[in-house]
Chains A and B, each alone.
Chain A
Amino acid sequence: MEQTAPFPVIEHQRAVFPEGVTLDCGAVLRPLSVAYRTYGTLNAARSNAVLVCHALTGDQYVAERQPLTGRGGWWEALVGPGKPVDTDRFFVICANVLGGCMGSTGPGEEMTDENGVPQGRPWGTDFPSVTICDMVRAQKKLVEKLGVDRLLAVIGGSMSGMQVLEWAATYPEAVFAAAPIAAATHHSAQNIAFHEVGRAAIHSDPDWKGGRYWEDGRIPAQGLSVARMVAHITYLSEAALTRKFGRRLQGASAVTFLEDVFQVESYLRHQGSTFVRRFDANSYLTITRAMDYFDLANEHGSVTAAFANTPTRFFVASFSSDWLFPTSESRALVRALNAAAAPVSFIEIPTDKGHDAFLLDEPEFHRAMGGFLAGAARALGV
């Protein structure tokens, strides 16, 4: 059975900005809360800060136990003491995105009016639409509050790679090095299409109730779960699914339409049902839309124009079996950066793990990321 009650409210470390933030859509969110975690120590020169951005369903618990799931940090393979993003050396910051559901201002938080007066109900679908740039604006406020004028690096994969690009385009002087991983300069039509299937699944769940599911303490678990199942397929690859599951049957080989027959079905259902215990459906709708809106060329005239005369150095990496953010998209980004005469490193990591590879154990990728950050640190004398 799907769990249909909302997940428990837990405390997160957050910074509150009473002045709020003005969004691309014109709305003002006041106050603005940004939930975050930090690791390591900011040095006296304030020059060793690395901002790690998180992907669509990630959170600020990048290198420690996630309080809701009890599982390890989502990028522990990369971030930690002695790791490529070395928390003994760098001051690592990770913030929950605007519109998220781990403590930052989002659809599940209490609604406020333009003067910041609480309205006694969650935002729900009245939460204004946010963009990747809005997420970055919120992060910038946090970074400044933490006393950092210039980040040694901003890094992230997938949607967080979009944030990395937005950071470098919007605040070039504040980003010494940028690593957009398994990302692209815009969300493709195919990716928008997959997102729309997920949103349609949520919308069609009777428990969604037009976004007002909080009223009777239920969540659109079925719809959100299906959304996750569809999305999860796009994070993997045909080769990885074949390697993991092949055509193996789950239990008895009875001909049935009702139960899981193949192992891969059972796996996807599991992914769906665990997801609804940690993620808010309205946040999912908000953030997938933010990704869909993302188009750097449209914002700046062209990708090259977005990075004209940039002082930032870049490390772009893609994964060979990633068909959600394929290598061709990263290569197009690299060529646009070359056209802007920006210093850029680019490699494609050979793997069969699909888009998810950026989160997994990929030693070559980790070594390259470590080398890139170490090079940036050397250049800044960190």
Chain B
Amino acid sequence: MPEAPVQYVAKNMRLDLRLIAEMIPPNVRVLDIGCGDGALMAQLATKGVDARGIEIDMQAATEAVSQGLAVIHGDADNDLAFYPDQAFDYVVLSRTLQAVEKPREVLRQMLRIGRHAIVSFPNFGHWEMRLKLLFGGRMPDTETWSRPWYETPNIHPCTILDFLALAEMEGYVIEHWLAVDEKGLKAPWRRSVRLANLFGEQALFQLRRG
């Protein structure tokens, strides 16, 4: 399988895409919610995956469609309800959960229309966030959380512990999870959720219904 293109590392965006691509076996059906210009879809297509995408940004959606990808302009909050049950093997939501209106409902929909859900999100419990809030008294401003509070699209930030609690409440089974640093490298805190919640900049979960 080819490596993720270098530009995504350079732009310091969607670093988790490569990890997600590795989690998805060949020749399955995938829905990528918040697919952007279709980078993950295009990569998945190289191993026979039937990938569909939803993107809220019209320019990115147009770019993806222009590459011949099955991408629709739409959003997680409003469009998932129209897909049939179990239409996909994997439903991916990368770095979008914190930006949707109803994260809990979106997760429910993902596990209704897909057998597995893969979710990544920036971890608000990272030590840098905690320190900045503790000592600065202002909303943290980091590489990941770079937009001021009044214009951030990230209206539902959460920590790894928050997400685990929601998964437990909803009865989801966590099939895999890992925390990664900003460069997309797996962090070695697998043994301790609390350490991962302190040192992981991004979290990546694979879930199924219990």
Interface residues of A (CB under 8 A from B): 313, 315-316, 331, 334-336, 338-341, 343-350, 364, 367-368, 370-372, 374-376, 378
Contact = CB atoms under 8 A, between A and B. Distances in A.
A371 B68 CA distance: 5
A316 B72 CA distance: 9
B74 interface: yes
A47 to B, nearest CB: 17
Interface class of chain B by DSSP: mixed
Interface residues of B, number: 21
Given A350-B58, A375-B67, 5 more contacts: A315-B65, A335-B79, A339-B82, A343-B52, A345-B70
Contacts of A375: 67-69
Given A335-B79, A338-B79, A341-B83, A347 B68 contact: no
Given A347-B62, A368-B62, A374 B68 contact: yes
Interface of B: 50, 52, 58, 61-62, 64-74, 79, 82-84, 87
Given A343-B70, A345-B72, A371 B65 contact: yes
A316 B52 CA distance: 14
B70 A347 contact: no
A374 B66 CA distance: 9
A343 B50 contact: yes
Contact of B71 (A340, A345, A350): A345
Interface class of chain A by DSSP: helix
B83 A339 contact: yes
Contacts of A346: 61, 65, 71-74
A370 B72 contact: no
Contacts of A336: 82
Nearest to B55: A347
Contact of A339 (B52, B65, B66, B84): B84
B46 to A, nearest CB: 13
Contacts of B62: 347, 349, 364, 367-368
Nearest to B86: A341
Contacts of B79: 335, 338
B61 A347 contact: yes
Contact of B72 (A338, A350, A364): A338
A367 B64 CA distance: 11
22 contacts: A313-B70, A315-B65, A336-B82, A338-B79, A341-B84, A343-B50, A345-B72, A346-B65, A346-B73, A347-B62, A347-B65, A348-B58, A348-B73, A349-B62, A364-B62, A368-B62, A370-B66, A372-B65, A372-B66, A372-B68, A374-B68, A378-B68
B3 to A, nearest CB: 22
Contacts of B52: 343-344
B73 A347 contact: yes
Given A368-B66, A371-B66, A335 B73 contact: no
Nearest to B50: A343
Nearest to A313: B70
Contacts of B74: 331, 334, 346
A339 B85 CA distance: 9
A364 B61 CA distance: 11
Contacts of B58: 347-348, 350
